Amino acid sequence: MYIMSNLLSVSMLSANFGNLNADVEMVNKSEADWFHLDIMDGVFVPNISYGFPVMQAIAGKAQKPMDVHLMAVHPEQYLEAFKNAGAAYLTVHYEACTHLHRTLKAIRDLGMKAGVALNPHTSSALLADIIHDVDIVLVMSVNPGFSGQTFIAHTFRKIAELKKLLQSEKSSALIEVDGGINTENAVQLYEAGADILVAGHAVFSAANPIEAIHRIKHNK
């Protein structure tokens, strides 16, 4: 039987970096499941976010697993550093890896769960030869680089195709969806087969972020 997970990973990209501890504590207290950390190098994506010192500051207070989304070229150079900084899940981009199989294996060998992220234009069919080496598939529902963008509706078709692939390959990889997720579209995404939703803007722009997290997870 397929068990729906309905997990929520809160993207800290929209947090208040002037008072980060308060936002980490908020996520700790909330019903959120994971911390989602968006690491951008200014090359793979047209933006630079934050790196290891900030991640370590979050790790020092976080009481939930750290879900790292690495938007960088040559991700293989940083795998051990992310392990040391506290990553439980490490996701690299399909489009950034020449030797994806080797990189995913190295992530698992370090004791982390291995994820692969797909840009909106990248077909899930390209994962057929790698799916058994993956713990999570991160479906980008915006073009990576910025928080607060509009959800791309084609994502629903992508989730359906990915689900078919996972079922035919008997893979138990989780489906994570990232970008433009809010209290309106979350329920449809969970129903479509998303195990984990990422939300940043919808959480931190809400008057009551704890309540927004509850509403995204439970649709009420």
**Residues of this chain that bind Zn ion (CB under 5 A):** 38, 69, 178
CA 124/CA 110 separation, integer angstroms: 26
38 an active-site residue?
A: yes
- For ligand DX5, the closer of residues 193 and 200 by Cβ is 200
133 an active-site residue?
A: no
Q: Could you say which of 38, 41, 67, 133 is catalytic?
A: 38
Minimum separation from the CB atom of position 153 to Zn ion (A): 19
Minimum separation from the CB atom of position 170 to ligand DX5 (A): 29
For 183, half-sphere exposure in the C-beta direction (CA atoms, 13 angstrom radius) is 16
148 binds, among ligand DX5, Zn ion, none (CB under 5 to 8 A by kind): ligand DX5
Given a contact cutoff of 8 angstroms between Cβ atoms, the answer to whether 196 and 176 are in contact is yes
Cα 214–175–96 angle (5° rounding)? 120
Q: Could you say which of 41, 133, 135, 178 is catalytic?
A: 178
Minimum separation from the CB atom of position 167 to ligand DX5 (A): 26
Q: What residue is closest to Zn ion based on CB? A: 69
200 binds, among Zn ion, ligand DX5, none (CB under 5 to 8 A by kind): ligand DX5
Phi and psi dihedrals of 106, rounded to 5?
-65, -40
Please report the DSSP string for 98-109 in residue order. Answer: TTHHHHHHHHHH
